[in-house]
Structure 1
Amino acid sequence: MRRRLAPAAVAVLTGAALTGCSLFGQGPEQVSVFDAAPGECFLAPEEIVAELTEITRVPCDSAHDQEAYAVVDYVTGEGTEGYPGDGALKDFADGSCAAEFAGYVGVDYRDSSLFLTYLLPSARSWEQDGDREVTCFVTTTGEPLTATVRDSAL
């Protein structure tokens, strides 16, 4: 059960991971990439890898690099159930994540000071696990986020 990190995410994730602060005794916790849900915040991986199995979840009021804002299913046409390839998944994720952005952040992606990135199904998770989900994240290339971006209009 692995997910492939989108190349767009690789550029964003090159910074060092930050240490999350505790909130009611909750600190950073490793979770499966399949468990990332909208409204949850995460640290960037310390090392860049092509496939991830876990990511570090932190409270959104502590320093974080990314906030999940949507999980969208890649829908295949009849007779096209096989892995669609990197290009088709990236095109789908670019369009789908941009379309979901305004509903979460409160401003169109083209007018935002924030960026988006995503996790894509890997060929392995597609074939072995039936993985069809793209997880969309809000991120920044500047200072870390220290609060949720939901309805922030940033």
Structure 2
Amino acid sequence: MASLALTLAGCGWFGPDEEDGAVGVLEVEVGQCFLAPDEVEAELSVLQRVACDVPHDQEAFAVVGYQSPDGQEPPGHPGEDVLSRFADGACVEQFGDYVGTHYLDSELYFTYLLPSVRGWEAGDSEIVCFVTSTGEKFEETVRGSAR
């Protein structure tokens, strides 16, 4: 399973609600398409949104709130390893409903954004799952594509 975890910054710039442009990571919605960041950053606060019918690198397919295995709310940020394990399972679970085929049968991959410690302290406990590929850009939505 190939996945890449990035961390959501605690406070993001809440960009305009337009088809193209900067979108704060806390404002990402399922079905939105994005260009991959030019540089790898430990924390992201803004993503570049584009229309799904133009070349893009990623498409948000799920936004999932963290749930601890014991059902208890953690007293603080559970740590990147714990969040990554949760995200791996949660994103795989949501992948098939969005793409139209189970992850293991797909030619596509996923990545996700995790809440940072600062974001967690501000109340953010959501993981954002993105469909991606191994370099080829998508030229239309992958929703229901069964790829």
Q: Distance in 1 between matches of 2:135 and 2:73?
A: 44
TM-score (normalised: structure 2): 0.85
TM-score (normalised: structure 1): 0.81
Q: Distance in 2 between matches of 1:36 and 1:98?
A: 19
Q: Distance in 2 between matches of 1:81 and 1:58?
A: 37
Helix, strand or coil at the partner of 1:152: coil
Q: What residue in structure 1 maps to residue 74 of structure 2?
A: 80
Structure 1 89/101 Cα, relative in aligned 2: closer, same or farther at 3 Å? Answer: same
Work out which of the residue numbers 101, 119, 123 in structure 2 matches 1:125. Answer: 119
CA displacement 1:100-137 (0-9 Å, x = unmatched)? 0000000000000000000000011001x111000000
How many residue pairs are counted as aligned between the two chains?
132
Helix, strand or coil at the partner of 1:116: strand
Q: Distance in 2 between matches of 1:106 and 1:27?
A: 24
Work out which of the residue numbers 95, 100, 108 in structure 1 matches 2:102. Answer: 108
2:44 matched to 1:52?
yes
Work out which of the residue numbers 45, 57, 62 in structure 2 matches 1:65. Answer: 57
Q: Distance in 1 between matches of 2:56 and 2:105?
A: 22
Q: What residue in structure 2 maps to residue 95 of structure 1?
A: 89
Helix, strand or coil at the partner of 1:34: helix
Structure 1 27/78 Cα, relative in aligned 2: closer, same or farther at 3 Å? Answer: closer
Superposition deviation, residue 28 in structure 1? 3.5
Gaps of at least 5 residues in structure 2 are 7-17
CA displacement 1:67-109 (0-9 Å, x = unmatched)? 0000000024436231101110000000000000000000000
Helix, strand or coil at the partner of 2:4: helix
Q: What residue in structure 2 maps to residue 20 of structure 1?
A: none
- For 1:15-30, list aligned pairs within 5 A: 28-30=20-22
Gaps of at least 5 residues in structure 1 are 1-6, 11-25
